[in-house]
Amino acid sequence: MRRIGVLEPLAANDPEGQQRVSSLVRQLQGLGWTDGRNVRIDYGSAPGDASRMRAEAAKLVSLKPDLIVGASTPVVTALRAEAGTIPISFVQVVDPVGAGFVTSFARPGGNVTAATGRDSTKMLNGSAQEGTSAHSIEIAVISATCDAGTIERRNR
């Protein structure tokens, strides 16, 4: 069974964080991935504290996921410090090139890639139109891992 780690910069009981996670789970289901059936999703949250983010990132990495999804620059910073070669897909990072997460948008390089811009933010907030959100989650989850050969694309 494939495994995905998700690290949020919000508390586990934060309504916004819960909405984001719920949206991610719905979009994965739309692509044929169901938690507990053909993928396991592990969650971590680390509101506001860099050392806690790094500890939560290390905890997720220790579970050996096929992919880790992170939201925000501090979360991706922590994930990059811990993940080694595990693919990281991220959203809600203002300047991923400037932060050193990717070399360029056209060729991110390394094990980090992203869904960026307005559509991915809407997808995470659960407010994208159906077609847009499905496309965004494919970018955020599937495209990141196709290069690493870990999660095959499910065509419907």
Beta bridge partners of residue 5, listed in sequence order: 42, 68
Give the model's pLDDT for residue 65. 92
CATH class for the domain made up of 2-146? alpha beta
CA angle 27, 30, 31 (to 5 degrees): 95
Q: How far is CA 39 from CA 28, 51, 71, 100, in A?
A: 9, 29, 20, 30
pLDDT in tens, 25-64: 888 888 888 999 999 999 999 887 889 999 999 999 999 9
pLDDT in tens, 53-103: 999 999 999 999 988 999 889 999 999 999 988 988 888 888 888 888 888
Could you say which DSSP state residue 98 is in?
Answer: T
CA angle 95, 120, 17 (to 5 degrees): 95
